């Protein structure tokens, strides 16, 4: 009885499975398992827009896509999400949100001030489009409604992981500038509402009172050999 032996060349084994993606309407065959950015580069695109840290943190590469036969519009980050068969995608190069100028020192933890700088918050109709558009899976509508309720602390907490990709603002029917608003709220929270680190304040006071001045002067005057000796004999994990 002969066992049919099939010789498979090394090339065949190593050849990856290919998937079809449609970039701005044009079909490309790319290996599965690549991130969208890598797939675009495989297809011959040189990335100069809609690309940044490539680590899921800067918010530059927000991508919109649909699968054939579905109406749902989906969001991905091009540097993190892998290609799927049948993806119709576009990587957005930019979201227009010019900065509103304010002085953090002259603000208070008061909702009235946030409304004055970004009055469009009052137009929110609670449609939830922003939450559905977030690639980080944040509760965006809850954060805006928390601001409307006056709960700045909750809004700061809910938006901690926001990478300011801007898709929520693009899709919002009330034209709310989410990313900048959340940035402002987190800054207000950090400066005026979060508990102060006592040990840091104590240390700063000690430095201002000159507790470490003498030691620092001695080190500045010391020769290179003395410094080397001090460094070699330092205690790596002090007991106190």
State yes or no: residue 145 binds another protein (CB under 8 A): yes
Q: What is the DSSP string of the chain?
A: -PPPP----HHHHHPPPEEEEEETTEEEEEETT-BHHHHHHHTT----SS-S-SSS-S---EEEEE-TT----EEEETTTSBP-TTEEEEE------PPPP--GGG--S-HHHHHHH-GGGGG-----HHHHT-TT---HHHHHHHHHHT-HHHHHHHTTT-----HHHHH-TT---HHHHHHHHHHHIIIIISPP-HHHHHHHHHHHTTTTHHHHHHHHHS-HHHHHHHHHT--SS---
Q: How far is the CB of 12 from another protein (least distance, A)?
A: 44
107 contributes a contact to another protein by CB under 8 A:
no
Q: Which of residues 12-71 bind another protein (CB under 8 A)?
A: none
The length of the chain, given as a count of residues: 240
Cβ closest to another protein, residue 112 vs residue 210:
112
What does the per-residue mask of binding to another protein show for 123-142, with x meaning CB under 8 A?
xxxxxx------------xx
36 vs 152 by CB, closer to another protein: 152
Question: Given the complex with another protein, which of 79 and 121 has the nearer CB atom?
Answer: 121
111 contributes a contact to another protein by CB under 8 A: yes
- Does residue 119 bind another protein (CB under 8 A)? yes
Is residue 122 within the footprint of another protein (CB under 8 A)?
yes
Only one of the segments 14-22, 35-43, 109-117, 227-235 lies at the binding site for another protein (rule: CB under 8 A); that segment is 109-117
Q: Which long-range contacts (CB under 8 A, 24 or more apart) does 66-75 make?
A: 75/133, 75/134, 75/135, 75/167
Instruction: Check residue 73 for interaction with another protein (CB under 8 A).
Output: no
Q: Which is nearer to another protein, 82 or 113 (CB)?
A: 113
Per CB under 8 A, the list member of 20, 27, 104, 110 interacting with another protein is 110
For residues 215-239, one letter each, b for 16 or more C-beta atoms within 10 angstroms of the residue's C-beta and e for the rest, the string is: eeeeeeeeeeeeeeeeeeeeeeeee
Nearer to another protein, 34 or 141 (CB): 141
State the minimum distance, in angstroms, from the CB of residue 117 to another protein: 10
- Residue 119 C-beta: closest distance to another protein, Å: 4
Minimum CB distance to another protein, residue 56 (Å)? 25
Span from 45-53, 78-86, 105-113, 214-222 in contact with another protein (CB under 8 A): 105-113
Binding site for another protein (CB under 8 A): 110-113, 115-116, 119-120, 122-128, 141-142, 145, 148-150, 173
């Amino acid at each position: 009885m002969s066992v049919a032996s099939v010789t498979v060349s090394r090339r065949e084994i190593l050849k990856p499975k290919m998937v079809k993606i449609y970039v701005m309407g044009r079909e490309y065959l790319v290996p599965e398992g690549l991130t969208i950015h890598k797939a675009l580069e495989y297809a011959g695109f040189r990335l100069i827009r809609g690309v940044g840290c490539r680590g899921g943190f800067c918010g530059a590469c927000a991508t919109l896509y649909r699968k054939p036969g579905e109406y749902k519009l989906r969001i991905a980050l091009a540097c993190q999400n892998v290609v799927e068969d049948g993806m119709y995608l576009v990587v957005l190069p930019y979201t227009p949100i010019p900065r509103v100028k304010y002085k953090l020192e002259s603000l208070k933890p008061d909702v009235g001030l946030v409304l004055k700088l970004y009055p469009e918050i009052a137009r929110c109709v609670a449609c939830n489009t922003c939450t559905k558009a977030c690639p980080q899976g944040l509760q965006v509508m809850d954060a805006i409604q928390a601001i409307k309720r006056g709960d700045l602390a909750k809004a700061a907490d809910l938006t901690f992981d926001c990478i300011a990709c801007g898709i929520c603002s693009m899709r919002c029917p009330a034209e709310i500038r989410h990313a900048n608003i959340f940035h402002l709220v987190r800054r207000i929270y950090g400066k005026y509402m979060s508990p102060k680190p006592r040990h840091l304040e104590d240390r700063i006071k000690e430095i201002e009172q000159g507790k470490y001045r003498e030691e620092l002067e001695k080190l500045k005057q010391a020769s290179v050999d003395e410094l080397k000796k001090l460094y070699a004999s330092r205690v790596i994990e002090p007991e106190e």
